[in-house]
Structure 1
Amino acid sequence: MAAAVSTQTALSKLQGARALGQLRGVSRAARLFKTATARPSSSSSPAVCSALQLESGVCVVTGGSRGIGKAIALALGAQGCKVAVNYSSSPDKAEEVAHEITQLGGEAIIVGANMGKPEEIDALFKAVTEKWGTVDVLVNNAGITRDTLMMRMKPDQWNDVINVNLTGVFLATQAATKIMSKKRKGRIVNIASVVGLVGNAGQANYAAAKGGVIALTKSVAREWAGRSITCNSIAPGFIASDMTAAIDKKYEEGILASIPLGRYGQPEEVAGLVRFLALDPAAAYITGQTYAIDGGMTMQ
């Protein structure tokens, strides 16, 4: 009987000690949280004190002449940024975007470059630095498709998509980080795709490229974190465009049924997240992440 009482007493003391330890742990965590969220003192760094104030700078938007790229370029320009609108084959559309940016209060230039050609990517960044001296933000948006079933896909169809959608992102990021690293500051946002997350029949090349962009995003984030360069990616789902407008209604019903929100996204919704990740000081602690903008289609 005495042994049983002794055991109960010991267990009671042990439970009490654990509870006390947990309370102390909670108390310590609360103190740390209070410290972390306290109002910054006057000696705090400007980056912390300026939270909620959008910054502006020199931005490069690849594939910026139409669609999502156009919306991104306009969103950045509306914040007073200097925007280099890259295009591959539509200078007139790029000029229209640049004109709209100036009307919104920003500055803009257009720079033609095929993002699948290294020498043209080098020329793009040379043009930007000659004009404005630096690069603060890179948005890798340019992309192409060469859709067909894998069994019919030619090597050229595979290589074309990989070269523009993945290798082009690597080369542009390499060029931008050389500039950003010197001033220990920069933001990179890669436009991937939900296809890079879940795959899609008839798009093996596109899925491989966009999946590669998501993985590259994480590697860039880790490699350049020490220089205060962040890198994140966005994976859009079905976004309203000329392509979605041309979808046969009988197929569209099935597509919309697979989207919990029951509609296509808008380019401006993607641009809004890019704007936050690229410019807002509140995004300075976010890196290596991929955000799906797909109406809940790929939620887990």
Structure 2
Amino acid sequence: MKHKLWKGHVMNRTVLITGASRGIGRATALAFAKEGYNVLINYRTHEQDAQELRDGLRALGASAEMVYADVSKREDVDEMFAYARELFFRVDVLVNNAGVAQQKLFSDITESDWDRMFDINIKGMFHCAQAALSQMVSEKRGKIINVSSIWGIAGASCEVHYSASKAAVIGFTKALAKEVGPSGIQVNCVAPGVVETQMNAALDTDTKEELREETPLGCIGEPDDIAQAILFLAEERSKFITGQVLSPNGGIVI
């Protein structure tokens, strides 16, 4: 993996967002950039989207770069973090957003379906958190924010493997928060409700309307609704919060 370094405002705080090229990840990158962060945009399959986002953030005056990595592979993750530190010296905030989803009857889920779901949604988070903590622990500071789902809280029919992986994100968050809290590191989780993203583009109009009707606030979320929750957990105003699950979902799960 070779990159041309782009020297930005290295003294600003740095956020690395996995799966940042589209949807919630993209909105999160925009939100952090507007607050003056250096932004590392991780992507795996949507290179053009990542490039357009990087260029857009730079046009706003932000220090931004894109970096390829398959988070399910340790060597990719190690190289990504080495590059982040070469470019910006440290990663102050890690947002574990990369994930996949699939709707399938439980009886039809294959072993490869199951493994892919956990490789990206859980193993990827494990790799990135370990890579980030190697520096955060020695510096006794840092924030890790993991993206789960309301289905990790409540479970979803025809999404057993997805729901199980997102429930694991919550357990991971709570346990790691206890372990690294004494080192001054906060670990929290955001569990979004139904959001207008490419991941939910397959939902038909009737299904979306049913979800709106089931939601007390009567609407489906926007990516920026989730991005703002993630940003809150990264900021100084959340300094007494760790091991928690913040679920912006319009009230569909309470």
**TM-score under structure 2 length normalisation:** 0.92
2:88 to 123, 132, 145: 132
**Is the counterpart of residue 293 in structure 1 residue 248 in structure 2?**
yes
1:90 to 46, 68, 73: 46
Matches within 5 A, 1:97-112: 97-112=53-68
1:176 to 129, 132, 151: 132
Structure possessing the higher relative contact order (Cα contacts under 8 Å, 6 or more residues apart):
2
Equivalents in 1 of 2:44, 2:68: separation in Å?
Answer: 5
2:198 to 230, 234, 242: 242
- List gaps (5 residues or longer) in structure 2: 1-10
Paired residue total: 244
Equivalents in 2 of 1:272, 1:140: separation in Å?
Answer: 15
Give % identity. Answer: 35
- Tell me the amino acid that sits aligned with residue 292 of structure 1: S
Partner of 1:163: 119
- Tell me which structure has the larger Cα radius of gyration: 1
2:160 to 198, 204, 209: 204
Of 235-244 and 287-296, the range deviating more from structure 2: 235-244
Q: CA deviation at 1:246?
A: 4.7
1:146 to 102, 121, 132: 102
Does the CA-based 8 Å contact 1:61-1:85 persist in structure 2?
A: yes
**Is the counterpart of residue 115 in structure 1 residue 71 in structure 2?**
yes
2:228 to 248, 265, 272: 272
**TM-score under structure 1 length normalisation:** 0.79
Equivalents in 2 of 1:243, 1:176: separation in Å?
Answer: 27
- List gaps (5 residues or longer) in structure 1: 1-54
Does the CA-based 8 Å contact 2:229-2:248 persist in structure 1?
A: no
Partner of 1:259: 215
Partner of 1:47: none
Does the CA-based 8 Å contact 1:239-1:266 persist in structure 2?
A: yes
Q: CA deviation at 1:56?
A: 4.8
Partner of 1:44: none
Deviations 1:103-137 (A, max 9, x none): 23321111111111121111111111111111100
1:190 to 146, 151, 159: 146
